């Protein structure tokens, strides 16, 4: 975090020993350590909050880009469907006679013959 070398720390320690005195120096060191820990905890919390905000912003940007892409795809599909419907309306306006399936295969089997008769209610008694 700070660019402090070992010699600078030694100079600060000697000055603190002279100014504070040897009796109160351990208590000052504990208090200073406690305060540094609280500052680190606070800075870590702020970093986490900023990180969460950045992630939320990225998610919002991703959400809007996905919505734009979905709208673009939806519009292109609607255009294609409308073009196909227009082409289908043009084809339906001409007279085309559809060919039934049995005529294509060369056999004409009525539907009634292919279905087996249902058992009567008298036969089940």
Q: Which of 16-20, 29-33, 82-86, 116-120 has the lowest mean pLDDT?
A: 116-120
Its pTM stands at 0.46
**1-11 per-position pLDDT tens digit:** 567 888 998 99
**12-52 per-position pLDDT tens digit:** 889 988 898 889 989 998 999 999 999 999 999 999 999 99
* Rounded Cα gap, residues 116 and 119, in angstroms: 9
From residue 88, alpha-carbon distances to 79, 84, 94 in Å are 14, 6, 10
Among 114, 92, 94, 90, smallest CA distance to 102 is for 114
């Amino acid at each position: 975090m700070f660019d402090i070398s070992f010699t600078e720390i030694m100079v600060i320690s000697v000055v603190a020993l002279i100014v504070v005195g040897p009796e109160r120096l351990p208590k000052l060191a504990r208090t200073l350590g406690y305060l540094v820990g609280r500052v680190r905890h606070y800075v870590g919390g702020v970093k986490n909050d900023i990180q969460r905000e950045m992630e939320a912003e990225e998610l919002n940007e991703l959400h809007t880009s996905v919505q734009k892409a979905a709208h673009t795809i939806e519009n292109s599909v609607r255009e294609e469907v409308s073009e196909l419907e227009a082409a289908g309306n043009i084809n339906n306006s001409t007279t085309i006679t559809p060919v039934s399936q049995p005529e294509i295969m060369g056999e004409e089997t009525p539907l009634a013959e292919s279905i087996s008769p249902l058992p009567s209610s008298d036969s089940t008694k």
